[in-house]
Amino acid sequence: MLIIRCSKCRKKIFKYKKIGKGRILRCWHHRIIESYAIRDGSRIYCRCGNRIGEDDGVKVKMNQRSITASGTYMNK
């Protein structure tokens, strides 16, 4: 389980079930356990106003410079 946080204010954005190692380029909706994000149409923001990514219906395309992650990755 990964905790994805805002890179500016360090507040939680998502609790996410990441499978495999590697960068977080997108977050699939069915793997997001909890969301603390603010949604404005298709745009996803942190509570501090930092733009996190964009929702395209099935997944959230993440802005790499806007997030940090901690926790453990799950094996396939």
Whether residue 76 lies inside any domain: the answer is no
Whether residue 30 lies inside any domain: the answer is yes
- Please give the share of the chain, as a percent, with pLDDT higher than 70: 99
Whether residue 42 lies inside any domain: the answer is yes
Average pLDDT over residues 59-72: 92
Q: How far apart are alpha carbons 35 and 43 in whole angstroms?
A: 14
User: Nearest CA to 50 among 35, 27, 66, 38?
Assistant: 66
Strands 2-6 and 32-35: unpaired
* Predicted structure pTM score: 0.86
Whether residue 24 lies inside any domain: the answer is yes
Q: Is a pLDDT exceeding 80 seen at residue 9?
A: yes
The model's pLDDT over 14-35, given as tens digits with 9 standing for 90+, comes to: 999 998 888 899 999 999 999 9
Whether residue 20 lies inside any domain: the answer is yes
For the chain, state the CA radius of gyration: 11
- Structural domain containing residue 17: 2-71
Task: Tell me the pLDDT of the chain averaged across its residues.
Answer: 92
Give the number of domains in the chain: 1
Whether residue 43 lies inside any domain: the answer is yes
Q: Are 37 and 72 contacting, i.e. CB atoms less than 8 angstroms apart? A: no
Whether residue 37 lies inside any domain: the answer is yes
H-assigned helices in 1-45: none
